[in-house]
Amino acid sequence: MDHTRWLDEEEMRAWLAFIPTATLVARELDQQLKEDMGLSHLQYEILVHLNAAENGALRMTALAERLINSKSGLTYQIGQMERDGLVRRRPCEWSKSGVLAEITDEGRAMLERAAPGHVEKVREVLIDVLTPDECKAIADGLGRVRDRIIERNDGGSCW
């Protein structure tokens, strides 16, 4: 017996709108940051998370989890950013095997220069297209989706 809960017309419309939109928004943000600042969107997000962290540093494993990125992918990005002077790696004081990624003064300056253009692009491609009610509905709904997936993946550890 078939127990599949097929998508109804409105659910299918939502799904088919979500998939290309997520890709297109990500592509637009990545392109803007690359053209304006020479950063990928992931590198920008790394700077955001490190800047917001206590003492400007996070363990690499914690940073990978926050970014929902693989450890190897993050290691590559941090290496690129370290080469450019935006971050540095250092041993973790409380764990022999742990490594911290730390934002540098150059990284903070880059973030400060990049943020205005990035926010403008976020507004252009997403926020200003939506009504306040639509924005709230998307934030609420996608927030629940994110939380459910993270909860299913071992209580927050995606890797």
Task: Spell out the domain ranges in the chain.
Answer: 31-115, 126-159
**Torsions phi, psi of 93, nearest 5?**
-65, -30
Closest CA to 61 of 89, 103, 30, 26: 89
Question: Cα(8)–Cα(4) distance, rounded to whole angstroms?
Answer: 12
Q: What is the SS3 string spanning 31-63? A: HHHHHHHCCCHHHHHHHHHHHHCHHHEEEHHHH
Tens of pLDDT, residue by residue, the chain (159 residues): 579 999 999 999 999 999 999 999 999 999 999 999 999 999 999 999 999 999 999 999 999 988 988 888 899 999 999 999 999 999 888 776 789 999 999 999 999 999 999 999 999 999 999 999 999 999 999 999 989 988 888 654 433
User: Is the domain defined by 31-115 classed in CATH 3.30.70.2740?
Assistant: no
3-state secondary structure of 28: helix
C-alpha angle 95/87/81, rounded to 5°?
120
Coil, helix or strand for 85? coil
